[in-house]
Amino acid sequence: MDYKKILINRRSVRNYLEKQVPIETILEIIHESTYAPSSGNEQPWKFIIINDRIAMKNISEEAKSNILNWIESNPNDNVKKYETLLKNKEYNIFYNASTVVLIIGDTNLKNTKVNCALAGSYFMMSATSRNLGTCWINFATHIKSKDMIKQLGIPENHEIVAPIIIGYPAEVPTIPLRKEPEIIRII
Ligand SMILES: Cc1cc2nc3c(=O)[nH]c(=O)nc-3n(C[C@H](O)[C@H](O)[C@H](O)COP(=O)(O)O)c2cc1C
């Protein structure tokens, strides 16, 4: 797939086929995501692959409940716009995807968020080049339960930066409207 086509086809996919992406393919995509640049070539990213729908449902419930509690004590927060959606019992933050990959990084390092986000971007492009769909699911960063963090194997002083679902798309959406880039000045 040429690069322009990858850019156009890389859409946030929220509807997947039942078929599971083979672990070998996920590992190849993870490998390609490490071609991303990182500050000082630190490559701080680590990956957790979750293929289990029950585990994903549990994470979804935990995240939804934490975000709803946050909204209750911070009613002016922008996230309030998702309140109705999050209260919907049918809503799974991972939609019907069969896999989520968590890109995590060390919170003690200076540029962890940026570096892991770049790996996330490469991950999505790599998946697209294989006709796979992805969607970054920020809601999944809202995990607090110590038990769950332990079960997921997230080491101490690490944070989830990029939770990305991956699967065979049931459909690829068209590009949502893009604003014209704001060029402030050309000097
Ligand atoms: C940092 C970040 C967080 C996001 N979190 C969510 C999310 O929690 N749930 C979701 O459905 N989409 C999420 N998205 C996907 C965006 O909604 C999507 O990228 C945007 O609507 C543009 O669509 P496109 O990706 O097809 O270009 C997130 C995207 C980014 C970059």
How do the pLDDT tens digits run along the chain, 187 residues long?
Answer: 899 999 999 999 999 999 999 999 999 999 999 999 999 999 999 999 999 999 999 999 999 999 999 999 999 999 999 999 999 999 999 999 999 999 999 999 999 999 999 999 999 999 999 999 999 999 999 999 999 999 999 999 999 999 999 999 999 999 999 999 999 999 9
Q: How far apart are CA 99 and CA 96, in angstroms?
A: 9
**179 is a domain residue:** no
Q: How far apart are CA 87 and CA 93, in angstroms?
A: 11
Ligand 1, atom 28: nearest CA belongs to which residue? 136
Phi/psi for 149 (5° steps) reads -60, -40
> What sign results for the dihedral spanned by CA atoms 167, 170, 176, 181?
positive
Residue type, 81: K
**94 is a domain residue:** yes
Domain extent for 156: 3-167
- The CATH number of the domain where 33 resides is what? 3.40.109.10
Spacing, Cα 41 to ligand 1 middle (Å): 27
Q: What's the number of domains the chain is made of?
A: 1
**118 is a domain residue:** yes
Task: Write down the pLDDT at residue 51.
Answer: 96
Spacing, Cα 31 to ligand 1 middle (Å): 23
Residues 6+ apart with CB under 8 A from 121: 36
Task: Write down the pLDDT at residue 102.
Answer: 98
121 Cβ below 6 A of ligand 1: no
* Whole-prediction pTM: 0.97
177 Cβ below 6 A of ligand 1: no
Ligand 1, atom 16: nearest CA belongs to which residue? 12
Q: Which residue has the tokens 């962890």?
A: 112
**182 is a domain residue:** no
- Among 135, 139, 165, the mutation site with the greatest number of ligand 1 atoms within 8 A of its Cβ is 135
**174 is a domain residue:** no
Ligand 1, atom 19: nearest CA belongs to which residue? 12
**120 is a domain residue:** yes
Task: Write down the pLDDT at residue 1.
Answer: 80
**79 is a domain residue:** yes
How open is the CA angle 44-93-123, to the nearest 5 degrees? 35
Task: Write down the pLDDT at residue 186.
Answer: 98
**181 is a domain residue:** no
